[in-house]
Amino acid sequence: MALRTETEQAGMTLNLPPARITRAVCALLAIVFALTTCWLTPAGTVMAPSASADDATATDTTGTTNTDDKQRVTITIDAATPVVTASSGYQLRATVTNPTGGRLPAGKLNLATNVQHSFYSRTDIQDWSDGAENIPMLDGLAEADVPALDAGASASVTLTADKDTLARIITWGPKPVAVTYVVDGVSRARSHTFLTRSTDGLNLVETPALNLTVALPLTSSAWSIDENAMHDLLTNSSDDDQVVTAGDASVLDDARREAIAKHPKLQVVADPTLLTSEAKQASQSHSQSQQDDTAKDQAKDQQETARNLSSIALSGVMQPAGFDISAYNAHDNDGAYVAAGVERDDWNAETALGEYRTAKGDQSLSTGVYAWQGKANWSLASLTEAKKQGYSVVIANHEFDTGDDSTVHTGNMSVTTDEGDVTVLTQQRELSRLAQGKATSDDADAETSAAGRLARFVAQSAFYQMEQPYTSRNLLVCLSATADAATIDALMRAVEQSPWLNLTDLSTLAATDPYVSGDDALQLVQDDASLTAAQSSFQQQTLSTLANGRNGITRFASSVLLNGDGRADPWIKELLDTQSTIALHALGGDMKVAERMNVGATSMVDELMGGVVITPSESVTVVSETAKMPVTISNSYPYPVHVKVQSVTDSMEIVTSRQVETEVPAHGEAQVTFTIRVSTSGSTNARITLLDRNGTQFGDTQTTAITSVLRISDMSGFVIIGFAFLLGILGLWRQFNRKKDPDE
């Protein structure tokens, strides 16, 4: 007997089979879904095409072809309207590239959104960026033709959004946008980006803006050694400030200066050694302008760079040369740094401020002084060291605060150290990564371009304001030191056009109540920070190279230079100061700069020790038992030297005297003489080397060939030969004239 289910409907009891109930419910749900879709979908809607089963290449859930990444058709966002207002409209320009081996026929590029969708969590936003969130794109914005693409070809397409569709957005904030490339009804690629609607023209309650501080570190990654200036320093005792220069690549060309000047609320924190270097070059460029055309051009460039730097309103300075305080603490060997030429006073806050005043030419000026994070994260030990060196405020990168709070917080925390409280300004992770040209994840397909990252930045900042609209917060965003003019200008213009953001300065951020302090802050800070194995090895190698260079200078001063009256002391100080400048920049955390500085430190000592040389001499031919071998020593230094000259041969029969000492005048020559003694004919080489006063060799070895052609040179020799001749004659006469014995 079949069981039946009782259902009451309109006062009646119906006994229906379970299968019929299931079919009825499914039909009812289908009707409701169809009616809802028709009601929600307006005219002109562009639905994203789905992949055909007949298509040779299957597509994944994101709409991109499920093949090797290098063979996927790509969509790159070249430009997009960052903030949408009531009158701005929305435009997007994208490039479609065909990296496959075949030709793609003409297709379409669709632009769609969902005007009613709102993001409720940071996870939702990230999932959409990664293509992991399947949000229905119910509202078509635009469509454009894409021409046929040969293998390796690309096409640029501009899409202008339909104004009526934009007008249906009645809530402010980020909206999902899909850019879909369609060929023959099949989606071949899709990019997931955002448009952000401002409150302009919307009847909404205004909420307080989110405070945002945007900082730009002004440093150089092109520090290099001027070999001509170094040669002049070694031979003529010239000014040492020009040996280490900011390099040929100007860190503040006209375009970059104009971009910074257009946005006065951008917080520029400069390396003070960059300021003094450029100011020094500008002051000395007048004499160069009288030389050849190349020198005139160089002088003009230096003056222009210096003017650009002086015209920038700085918000503060960092530690000199961006000295890596965290790596210094991680290495935990102050003696190694001193041996390398870097004293603690070389990078403290007082020195940084002094460099700034010197560059500006006003010893009464004051500005903010900040310690910028190096390779390793700030630890309690490195924060203590920074405070001891006079830095009360430090700037940490976006990896310092590893907490995963549900909402963003003010980028200010107060950490108590043995030296006192330190204010740590922490960069907001996602916004800073985007500002520095990095995608939030490897799967964020729209964030491979600057325009795509900017769209995400604006959307993300809007969401942060929306998640806690009445909570006062101040976020820190730091641009990359290598950010170009276009990146700086685009980001700052987008921020300035975002009414939900309020730009502040570093002083305001530092004075803001910290979001965490005391024991709570200490829980977020590591006791010690360490470098990676590769970083630690490179650091050790750099310190060793620098120490060897400095030891070479001190050895030269004490064991080669003749400086009894102290006249050479200023020159030696210049050499040591230059070496310290080289070492300071080598330890600034930039590996490429460190490599150039290491080469410079080594070449400086090599050239210094190579300034006293043995003049190559011609080969010597010896025709008697003894002879003289003259050797000339030249000195290119501006001060006299006292050296030993040593000669050694590789023969026991042909030898020279071993050592001779001599003094060589400044920019002059001296000649010494070695005695050659021979006992047979033959040839050998004399290796002539220079020794310092302690007997340690330096400089290059010279080789002189010695050939011996021994001749009779006195009467005793002739007597011996004559006597031998007579004995020979007597022997022959006896052999022929003696009588033979009968028995023979």
pLDDT tens column, 615-624:
888 888 888 8
Count CB atoms within 10 A of the CB of residue 533: 8
Q: What is the pLDDT of residues 350-383, one digit of tens each?
A: 999 999 999 988 999 999 999 999 988 899 999 9
Range list of β-strands (E), 636-714: 641-649, 654-656, 659-664, 669-678, 682-691, 697-708
For residue 139, the SS3 value is: strand
> Is pLDDT larger for residue 35 or for residue 469?
469
Of 735, 316, 712, nearest to 510 by C-alpha is: 316
Mean pLDDT of 597-606: 95
Q: Where are the domains of the chain?
A: 5-40, 69-206, 212-220+267-272+314-527, 534-609, 612-708
Q: What is the rounded distance in angstroms from the CA atom of residue 373 to the CA atom of residue 477?
A: 14
> What CATH number belongs to 612-708?
2.60.40.10
Q: What is the pLDDT of residues 141-171, one digit of tens each?
A: 999 999 999 999 999 999 999 999 999 999 9
Pick the CATH number of 212-220+267-272+314-527 from 3.40.50, 3.30.43, 3.20.20, 1.10.10: 3.20.20
Q: What is the rounded distance in angstroms from the CA atom of residue 198 to the CA atom of residue 499?
A: 7
Q: What is the rounded distance in angstroms from the CA atom of residue 410 to the CA atom of residue 116?
A: 30
Considering just the CA atoms, what is the radius of gyration of the chain in Å?
41
Q: Is the pLDDT confidence value at 56 over 50?
A: no
Contact 673, 657 (CB under 8 A): no
For residue 368, the SS3 value is: strand
Using the structure block, give the residue that is written with the tokens 């006249």.
567
Fold match, 69-206 / 612-708: yes
* H/E stretch holding 126: helix 122-129
Q: What is the rounded distance in angstroms from the CA atom of residue 411 to the CA atom of residue 516?
A: 10
Using the structure block, give the residue that is written with the tokens 């890596």.
324
Mean pLDDT of 195-201: 95
Kindly provide the b/e burial profile for residues 661-690, where b requires at least 16 CB atoms within 10 angstroms of the residue's own CB. Answer: eeebeeeeebebebebebeeeeebebebbb
Mean pLDDT of 555-581: 92
Measure Cα distances from 481 to 172, 217, 317, 729 in Å. 33, 5, 14, 99
pLDDT the model gives residue 397: 85
Q: What is the rounded distance in angstroms from the CA atom of residue 278 to the CA atom of residue 148?
A: 52
Contact 640, 563 (CB under 8 A): no
Pairing of strands 393-396, 371-372: parallel
For residue 638, the SS3 value is: coil
Which stretches within 591-708 are classed as H helix?
591-609
Q: What is the rounded distance in angstroms from the CA atom of residue 601 to the CA atom of residue 616?
A: 28
**Cross-strand pairs, 178:** 112, 192
- Chain Cα centroid distance, residue 491: 21
Q: What is the rounded distance in angstroms from the CA atom of residue 216 to the CA atom of residue 505?
A: 12
Kindly provide the b/e burial profile for residues 425-436, where b requires at least 16 CB atoms within 10 angstroms of the residue's own CB. Answer: bbbbbbbbbbbb
- Chain Cα centroid distance, residue 234: 30
Cα Dmax for the chain: 173
Q: What is the rounded distance in angstroms from the CA atom of residue 387 to the CA atom of residue 423?
A: 10
Of 393, 396, 389, 395, nearest to 419 by C-alpha is: 389
Q: What is the pLDDT of residues 64-87, one digit of tens each?
A: 434 455 578 999 999 999 999 999
Name, in order, each residue with C-beta under 8 angstroms of 297's C-beta and a sequence gap of 6 or more: none
Mean pLDDT of 116-139: 94
Mean pLDDT, rounded, of the chain: 85
> What CATH number belongs to 69-206?
2.60.40.10
Q: What is the pLDDT of residues 671-720, one digit of tens each?
A: 999 999 998 888 999 999 999 999 999 988 999 998 988 665 555 666 77
What would the two tokens of residue 125 be? 């936003």
For residue 707, the SS3 value is: strand
- What is the torsion angle, in degrees rounded to the nearest 10, for the CA atoms of residue 314, residue 284, residue 250 and residue 248? -150
In degrees, to the nearest 5, what angle opens at C-alpha 622 toward C-alphas 619 and 624?
Answer: 170
Q: What is the rounded distance in angstroms from the CA atom of residue 422 to the CA atom of residue 400?
A: 15
Q: What is the rounded distance in angstroms from the CA atom of residue 447 to the CA atom of residue 329?
A: 36
* Residues above pLDDT 90, as percent of the chain: 65
pLDDT the model gives residue 294: 56
pTM given for the model: 0.81
Q: Which of 266-270, 448-452, 657-661 is predicted with the least confidence, judged by mean pLDDT? A: 657-661
Which stretches within 379-504 are classed as H helix?
380-388, 429-435, 450-467, 485-496
Of 354, 350, 375, 377, nearest to 365 by C-alpha is: 354
